[in-house]
Amino acid sequence: MTQHDHEPQGVSRRRLVSTVGAAGATGMAVGATGGAVAQAVARTDRKAPTPLSSVGSTRVPFHGKHQAGITTPLQAFGHLLAFDLVSGAGRKQAAKLLKRWSRTARELMAGESTADSTGIALDAGPSSLSVTFGFGRSFFSRTGLEKERPRELAPLPDFSGDALDKDLSNGDLWVQIGCNDGLVAFDALREIQRQADGTARLRWQMNGFTRTPGATKRPMTMRNLMGQVDGTNNPKRSEEDFDRRIFVPSSSSPAWMADGSYAVVRRIRMLLDTWDKESLSEQEKVIGRRKSDGAPLTGGTEDTDPDLEKRDADGSPAIAADAHVRVTAPATNGGAAMLRRPFSYHDGFRDDGAPDAGLLFIAWQADPQRGFVPVQRKLDRGDALSRFIRHEASGLFAVPGGPSKGEYVGQRLLEG
Amino acid sequence: MTQHDHEPQGVSRRRLVSTVGAAGATGMAVGATGGAVAQAVARTDRKAPTPLSSVGSTRVPFHGKHQAGITTPLQAFGHLLAFDLVSGAGRKQAAKLLKRWSRTARELMAGESTADSTGIALDAGPSSLSVTFGFGRSFFSRTGLEKERPRELAPLPDFSGDALDKDLSNGDLWVQIGCNDGLVAFDALREIQRQADGTARLRWQMNGFTRTPGATKRPMTMRNLMGQVDGTNNPKRSEEDFDRRIFVPSSSSPAWMADGSYAVVRRIRMLLDTWDKESLSEQEKVIGRRKSDGAPLTGGTEDTDPDLEKRDADGSPAIAADAHVRVTAPATNGGAAMLRRPFSYHDGFRDDGAPDAGLLFIAWQADPQRGFVPVQRKLDRGDALSRFIRHEASGLFAVPGGPSKGEYVGQRLLEG
């Protein structure tokens, strides 16, 4: 299916940015809009002699074994949305919506204009846009698909430190948008939201951000709003058991979740005014890592495993008993592992004057009962960091495997 | 003054990112932290063989004739903050605050760590960070400086279309932060806010965004959340009267505003659900420009002047009488001009389900009575666009000229 099937009058963003230097050759091929395209290219080219950088031109594949947005490198902008089916909408309507959403995701991720484009993303490349879709526990009762509900969607346990806002938690459907350009991301958000009209209504929405590509040389791990290097202990794709820990096996049950993953989403507010008043050494003691480079307090570099047995000259543990890095260490959690891929968020200031900011924690795993849950149980009991954070929202979503060509996300569930 | 005066134990972000490929040569010079720096550089270098791009390494000068953030190319992230002096704080305390703020702005814009760094920006280059400071009308009575209050700070007139939230309007002090990296921007925001502690309290704060560098080839004009090319008619720096229109002359009164500018700030919400339901041709009629490339409906390219006299075959004006481009055309406003340098904003969704999104309109001019005010008066009377927007907040700030070396912003006012 070519883009022309869906955009008889639109201007292809991909073509718009790719015809530079070849406007003569391709300008003829774009039909009625060719003149305008060639003109726009010539004009922007004249204004900015440097080519569109890889930031704009990078495309994330929509089709594949797994959905995009899980092992995709973190993007600068993120949007999380949850929807509830409206009264009267069931399996059939949900299937139509996922079909619309999938088509839009495929087109936008390829840098193409959609049939009902808002125009916000015009001129820009896809900028590593990814759109990821998931199903919440409530989706299955609403659509009569209880039999297909994975046991992995059992409600997360209550944690003593939780202060969850139900209106900002869970939901029938979940969409994660990531993009290195804020306008392309917003365009995707608007199109996704408009296409839900009449079938599902927005339950909650959160906006996040991380580093801009090229702003730092540190590629895999980012810093969070506490200033700490975040994500060091993430499983690496090069590790033998990465796939087994993060993705549902092809042969598992239910069959429609083959090659999928489970996303735990937590909105974790950081008490930054309290945190920032602590000394550097106190902050490092809470985490168990150096702030400057993320190396464990027992030495080495960021990649060095913390030496949890090491003791200081006075006999006390070099990494405190309640240090975050000790409590979360895979070695102390029976090898539990999840792939954390969070965005930071900052929604201004609360009525009490504190910053409304923190982490949109997103963790991916083949089974939350062996990933997030045991680790969070331990954190809940004795993590020095808990004084400085509040879990304010929570969601758990089943994210099916990636679509094959011609397939839409969730088709194996909805037409299975 | 070198950075070592302020950061005896800190790690210089600038050095951290600039020693790659020369770690041996410069690693010796950074004293106690040299080892860690060289190590971090080597490690990040190993992980990411590509060098830090210009996105991260670009510095905006703090010192100069004008403050940064006026003619500086738009950055991907923006924060606007307004503060009110606390009870008991006067001219002396304000001077100390502006001195602290200026030092921090200078250091962060140079990519250096500050004495009380949050660490959030570690590893990153300055990423075109700019910090701009301004004074609101109320500042002058609070500090006994009424005599120095510019007549240009006279309150803006009421416009019939205004629905202003006073709590989100005006303020004693105004800070604009722009940066191509979200974490560097947030770090600056936190440091600016913490340094105000005890002297001024936050009155309001707004977060915005624009394009990421490299996402598009269109450099000077951006698209707003309506999808329209925005900023086409901006005066160009190459134009003879640019400085006269945008900056206060060196010989003007009051003397402390020499080479400064006046910023009009409006939070303009867009009724996107209404707008997006209009057809493309109706949207283009409202604006008077093509959505695809910003060219006027009377033809040409984005840079072509609209032909306001042109009529269609049926005798009606080719650009409607109430088209936004006609009402705002300099030709119909006695040559009034302002430099618009806006960010888009998106704060999620309102209780009524509509997106809380639009434009953080920021307009720069030598005199708002000859820039923003006459244009907005005309818009208020008959702009087709007014059906789709709401002015929800407003501010007017006197932004003094840029500091010389050793000077802080506002020194000429506060010690004049």
Partner residue opposite B212 with nearest CB, options A122, A127, A194: A127
Band of residue B329 on the pLDDT scale cut at 50, 70, 90: confident
Best residue in B12, B217, B281, B360 to probe A by mutation, most A CBs within 10 Å? B217
For A371-388, write each residue's pLDDT tens digit.
999 999 999 998 999 999
Q: pTM of the full predicted structure?
A: 0.88
Band of residue B52 on the pLDDT scale cut at 50, 70, 90: low
For A303-334, write each residue's pLDDT tens digit.
899 999 999 999 999 999 999 999 988 777 77
pLDDT at residue B368 is higher than 70: yes
Residue with tokens 């009164």: B253
How many contacts, defined by CB atoms under 8 Å, are there between A and B? 248
Partner residue opposite B194 with nearest CB, options A36, A276, A303: A276
Partner residue opposite B184 with nearest CB, options A123, A125, A215: A215
pLDDT at residue A8 is higher than 90: no
Q: Average per-residue pLDDT in chain B?
A: 86
Answer yes or no: do A292 and B122 touch at CB < 8 A. Answer: yes
Best residue in A292, A304, A350, A352 to probe B by mutation, most B CBs within 10 Å? A292
Contact A156, A162 (CB under 8 A): no
Q: Which of A211-225, B47-61, B359-373 has the highest mean pLDDT?
A: B359-373
Residue B296 three-state SS: strand
The reported pLDDT for the residue numbered A21 is: 29
pLDDT at residue B321 is higher than 60: yes
The reported pLDDT for the residue numbered B23 is: 29
* Distance in angstroms (rounded) separating the CA atoms of residues A312 and A307: 12
For B260-306, write each residue's pLDDT tens digit.
999 999 999 999 999 999 999 999 999 999 999 999 999 999 989 99
Band of residue B118 on the pLDDT scale cut at 50, 70, 90: confident
Chain A residues close to B343, C-beta within 8 Å: none
**Between A38 and A290, the higher pLDDT residue:** A290
The reported pLDDT for the residue numbered A220 is: 57
pLDDT at residue A150 is higher than 90: yes
Answer yes or no: do A276 and B11 touch at CB < 8 A. Answer: no
Residue B192 CA: distances (Å) to CA of A323, B133, B347: 30, 11, 22
**Mean pLDDT, to the nearest integer, of A214-225?**
81
pLDDT at residue B12 is higher than 80: no
Please provide the distance, in angstroms rounded to a whole number, between the alpha carbons at the two ends of chain A.
24
Answer yes or no: do A76 and B186 touch at CB < 8 A. Answer: no
Band of residue B43 on the pLDDT scale cut at 50, 70, 90: very low
The reported pLDDT for the residue numbered B219 is: 63
Residue with tokens 């953030």: B69
Chain B residues close to A358, C-beta within 8 Å: none
Structure tokens given for A351: 């009525």
* Distance in angstroms (rounded) separating the CA atoms of residues B167 and B326: 33
Give A200→chain B minimum CA distance, Å: 13
For A13-33, write each residue's pLDDT tens digit.
333 333 222 322 222 222 222
The reported pLDDT for the residue numbered B336 is: 75
Structure tokens given for A219: 């590629």
The reported pLDDT for the residue numbered A156 is: 97
Q: Which of A210-214, A407-411, B322-326, B331-335 has the highest mean pLDDT?
A: A407-411
**Mean pLDDT, to the nearest integer, of B176-187?**
97
* Distance in angstroms (rounded) separating the CA atoms of residues A220 and A229: 10
The reported pLDDT for the residue numbered A352 is: 87
Residue with tokens 């079938």: A199
As annotated, the active-site residues of A are 230
pLDDT at residue B5 is higher than 50: no
The reported pLDDT for the residue numbered A258 is: 97
ipTM score here? 0.87
pLDDT at residue A48 is higher than 60: no
- Candidate from A132-146, A196-210, A332-346, B87-101 with smallest mean pLDDT: A332-346
